[in-house]
Amino acid sequence: MKKALICLLTATVATLTHADEVQVAVAANFTGPMQVIAPLFERDTGHKAVLSYGATGKFYAQVVNGAPFEVLLAADDETPARLVREGHGVAGSAFTYAIGTLVLWSANPDLVDARGEILKKGGFRHLAIANPKTAPYGAAALQAMGKLGVAESLKPLFVQGENISQTQQFVATGAAELGFIAYSQVIKNGRIGTGSGWIVPGQLHEPIRQDAVILAKGRDKVAALALMAYLKGDKAKGVIRSFGYELPQP
């Protein structure tokens, strides 16, 4: 009995020292890849990544106000830089883990043509975008429509999602006929899985550089460092690419 107890104790202590948990705030557009990467990370390193999904702007406010996140996978590079500047992020830890691809998508398989001409033709009542004030994919969508010269005429048709997941939900339910979302949300086997879509050319908007950063609460934490290293590894990169993201040139 005593022996068993000691065994149990040593086992517990061992797991405490070796395996660690890391609290990760994940930009909503990166939900899909992170759900694949997290189990791989746990299997390969023994550390567990606990994931929360949401809008990057909201995570910023939460982190500044003491949220227990240790790593942020943001939807932009501005938020991590700002967190580092303000002392909430660890200097030198930020890096670009993915470059996002914007897509104009509809649940209706016949609505969106391969060149996005529908934006000029019209014939729809609602166009969903993520809130451009807080969501980088929303801001990129606005830039793209500006470049195409349709931003002003389409503005009355905008419906805004709180983040990119809610934006997709508006379109997926058909409540909005089409909307700008992240390619990662609808990609399946290297192409748009259901409905119809147009992959927005990168030159129509600023690159959506998505940076990861270690937050102050994750400073010197083994699992946080391990996750950052893991995201730079080939296995994670393969997953990230398979979800339609670009990777920065080394």
Partner 1 sequence: MEAPDLAAVWLTLKLATVVTVLLLLVGTPIAWWLARTRSRLKGVVGAVVALPLVLPPTVLGFYLLVTMGPNGPIGQLTQAIGLGLLPFTFPGLVIASTFYSLPFVVQPIQNAFEAIGERPLEVAATLRASPWDAFWSVAVPLARPGFLSGAILGFAHTVGEFGIVLMIGGNIPGRTRVVSVQIYDHVEALEYTQAHWLAGGMVLFSFVVLLALYTFNPARRKAA
Interface positions with partner 1 (CB under 8 A): 55, 57-58, 60-61, 125-126, 128, 131, 133-134, 158-162, 166, 169-170, 173-176
Q: Measure the CA–CA gap between 186 and 209, rounded to whole angstroms.
A: 19
**In degrees to the nearest 10, what's the CA dihedral of 171, 105, 108, 170?**
0
CB of 41 to partner 1, least distance (A): 29
Q: In the complex with partner 1, which residue's Cβ is closer, 58 or 147?
A: 58
Q: 18 or 85, CB closer to partner 1?
A: 85
Q: Which is nearer to partner 1, 45 or 79 (CB)?
A: 79
Q: What is the DSSP string of 38-64?
A: HHHHHHHHS-EEEEEEE-HHHHHHHHH
The CA distance from 28 to 26, in Å, is: 6
Measured N-to-C along each axis, helices 31-45 and 234-242 cross at an angle, to the nearest 10 degrees, of 160
Q: Quote the least distance from Cβ 55 to partner 1, whole Å.
A: 7
Q: Which residue has the tokens 């086997």?
A: 189
Q: Which residues sit opposite 213 in a β-bridge?
A: 72
Q: Which two tokens stand for residue 222?
A: 């083994």
Cα 215–chain centre separation: 17
CB of 179 to partner 1, least distance (A): 10
Nearer to partner 1, 176 or 187 (CB): 176
CB-nearer residue toward partner 1: 58 or 235 = 58
Q: How far is the CB of 225 from partner 1 (least distance, A)?
A: 29
Q: Which helix (H) or strand (E) holds 143?
A: helix 136-148
Minimum distance from CB of 43 to partner 1 (Å)?
Answer: 33
Q: How far is the CB of 48 from partner 1 (least distance, A)?
A: 27
Question: Whats the size of the chain, residue-wise?
Answer: 250
**Judged by CB, which is closer to partner 1: 39, or 174?**
174
The candidate with the shortest Cα–Cα distance to 95, out of 216, 242, 228, is 228
